[in-house]
């Protein structure tokens, strides 16, 4: 059966171009009513224009869909609350939030100004926090919601010259981990999408042949799954060039060393065994790590 979003209302941030535009167009094509949010700024976040968001709205309407434009900056909580109020006033609900807005200010950490570090955090991390905070009460009240955070391989695995971007993107994984737990009793499912796509954000950062291969449209199926009725919860989907993977934050089996005076020396000697990945776990909460450690300690003590 074809996946559809009939009757659903979606907000997509940073939807005036690139990935966000493809997300908005795909949701609308499958029946969702879409708020197309975009400040219309440059890649580094400067400037602003309503033209980008409005152009995507016109595409959706021309194809028979329903959409409205919004130019709020995701770093302005009052504006974000007004964005959600606009969706509620127009259609009475918000079912889906795709936190896609972002900027780049790449430099090595040694050369990066702190203002550029903070601004990237503000857009990617706090922008997602503000938007999610604004939709959360409506989703709790209707006992339904789908939130997609846009993380990145730069956060999951690192990327030279992107300490600010990587820090923000990995922080979104941490946000997702906790919100997925807190939202589950209200059927609010929170997941992360790690896209690899050729957009204005990535132009000039990869070889031209790779840029051409990484069509943003190839990422959007993963977003649709994460935003759907049958979405998973607490999943990191990676997508690019038609390939889809899942990333996991894992915990190795580890080694019990104890708390003796030479624990540091013993750890140094056994570090390879501690880092060995055979039998690694995916803990279901932060507390599960602590429980694993206590269980291992108890078992080692009992075996003496």
Three-class SS of residue 78?
helix
Angstrom CA distances, 218 to 146, 209, 211, 239, 240, stand at: 21, 16, 13, 7, 6
H or E, element range at 149: strand 145-150
For the annotated catalytic residues, the residue numbers are 165
Looking up tokens 């950490």 gives 109
Query: What is the distance of C-alpha 232 from the center of its chain?
Result: 14
57: enclosing H helix or E strand: helix 51-62
Pairwise CA distance, residues 183 & 138, whole Å? 12
Are the CB atoms for 33 and 25 separated by under 8 Å? no
Task: Compute and round to an integer the Cα radius of gyration of the chain.
Answer: 21
Note the Cα 157 to chain centre separation in Å: 15
Q: Which two tokens stand for residue 90?
A: 């127009």
- Say which DSSP state 124 is in: I
List, edge to edge, every strand of the sheet that includes 236-240: 67-70, 33-37, 9-12, 96-99, 145-150, 188-195, 236-240, 243-247
- Tell me how far apart the alpha carbons of residues 30 and 13 are, in angstroms, rounded to a whole number: 18
Euclidean distance between CA atoms 197 and 203, whole angstroms: 10
Tokens encoding 109: 């950490």
């Amino acid at each position: 059966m074809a996946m559809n979003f009939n009757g659903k209302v979606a907000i997509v941030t940073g939807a005036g171009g690139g990935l966000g535009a493809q997300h908005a167009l795909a949701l609308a094509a499958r029946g969702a009513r879409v708020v197309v949010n975009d400040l219309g700024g440059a890649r580094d976040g400067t400037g602003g224009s309503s033209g980008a968001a409005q152009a995507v709205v016109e595409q959706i309407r021309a194809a028979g869909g329903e959409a409205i434009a919004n130019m709020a900056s995701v770093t302005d909580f009052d504006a974000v609350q007004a964005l959600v109020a606009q969706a509620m006033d127009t259609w009475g609900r918000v079912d889906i939030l795709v936190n896609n807005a972002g900027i780049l200010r790449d430099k090595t950490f040694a050369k990066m100004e702190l203002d550029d570090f903070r601004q990237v955090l503000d857009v990617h991390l706090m922008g997602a926090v503000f938007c999610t905070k604004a939709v959360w009460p409506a989703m709790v009240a209707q006992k339904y919601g789908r939130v997609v955070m846009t993380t990145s391989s730069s956060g999951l695995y690192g990327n030279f010259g992107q300490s600010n971007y990587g820090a923000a993107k990995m922080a979104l994984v941490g946000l997702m981990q906790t919100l997925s737990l807190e939202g589950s009793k209200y059927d609010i499912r929170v997941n992360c999408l790690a896209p690899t796509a050729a957009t204005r954000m990535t132009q000039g950062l990869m070889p031209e042949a790779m840029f051409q291969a990484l069509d943003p449209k190839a990422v959007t199926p993963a977003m649709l799954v994460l935003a759907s009725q049958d979405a998973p919860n607490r999943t990191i989907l990676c997508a690019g060039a038609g390939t889809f993977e899942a990333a996991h934050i894992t915990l190795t089996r580890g080694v019990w060393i104890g708390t003796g005076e030479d624990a540091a020396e013993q750890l140094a000697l056994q570090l390879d065994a501690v880092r060995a990945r055979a039998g690694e776990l995916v803990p279901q909460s932060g507390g599960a790590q602590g429980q694993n450690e206590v269980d291992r300690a108890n078992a080692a003590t009992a075996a003496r």
